[in-house]
Amino acid sequence: MVGSVARGRIMAQILAKHPRELGFGHWRWQRISAVATLGLMLYFTYLVASMGSLDYSAAMAFVAAPQHAVALAILVIAGLFHAALGVQMIIEDYIPLASGRLALVTIARGVFAIAAMASLVSVGMIAGLI
Amino acid sequence: MALWLVALAAGAAVFNPVADAMQHPLGQLVVFGYSLALVYHGLNGIRHLMWDLRIGLEIKQVYQSGYLVLGLTFLVTAALWLAV
C-alpha cells in the first residue's frame, strides 16, 4: 500500500515529467469557459429564438451594432472553446479506441477552430472592420 | 450559429435561403429544440458548478435539483420564445 505522502511524491514526479497529462488543466479550463459563457447563455438563446424573424437588413444591423458584435465575439471564442473541451471529454470517456484518440481529438479541435475563425471573420466583416 | 454568421457576412443571396430554412416550420422545430437543449445545458451547468462548490451533494438534493432544472428548462425556454 502506498502512503499519501509517497503518492503525493509520485504525482509530483508524473506532473514534472508530463505536465499536461493529468487533466487538471482541462477540468479547470472547462469550468472557466463555462462561467464565461454562462452570462451570455440567456442572450444567446434569445438570439437563437429570434433568428428566424430577422431578415437580411435587420440581421446585418443587429450584428453590426458594437455591443452585439463584441458579445458575439466573446460568445464564439469562449463557447466554441468550451465545446471543444466538451467534445474531447466525450471522445475520451465514451469512444472505446485502442489508438487514434489523439488524432480524433485533434480533428475535433480543428473543426471548432475553423468554426470559430470563420465566425469571427464574419462578425468582423459585418461590423465593417475587415 | 457559425453558419448563420457566415451566411450573413456572405451577403443576402446566401443569407436569404438560410433564413427561409429557419422560418420553415421544420426549421423552427430544429431551432426550438436547439434552444431547449441550450437552456437545459446552461441550467444543468449551474447545477454542476454548485456540485464543484460542494453544494447539494446529498442524494435527495441531487434528485431535487435534477427535477428543478428539468422544470426550469421548460419554463425559461417558453418565456424566451414568448418574449421574442
DSSP conformational letter for A100: -
Cα distance between residue B1 and residue A76, in whole Å: 9
| Chain A, nearest residue to B27 by Cα | A52
Cell, residue A126: 459585418
Per residue in B6-34, pLDDT tens?
999 999 999 999 999 999 999 999 999 99
Distance to chain B for A98, nearest Cα, Å = 30
Tell me if B6 and A34 make a contact (CB, 8 A cut-off): no
Residues B29-47 have a mean pLDDT of: 95
- pLDDT tens string, chain A, 130 residues long: the values are 456 677 778 777 777 776 656 677 888 889 999 999 998 988 999 888 888 889 999 999 999 999 999 999 999 999 999 999 999 999 989 998 888 888 999 999 999 999 999 999 999 999 988 8
Tell me if A126 and B5 make a contact (CB, 8 A cut-off): yes
H/E stretch holding A108 reads: helix A101-126
Q: Domains in chain B, start-ordered, CATH in brackets?
A: 24-83 (1.20.1300.10)
Q: Which of A45, A53, A119 sits opposite B6 (nearest CB)?
A: A119
Q: Does B64 touch chain A (CB under 8 A)?
A: no
Per residue in B52-84, pLDDT tens?
999 999 999 999 999 999 999 999 999 999 988
* Stated pTM of the model: 0.84
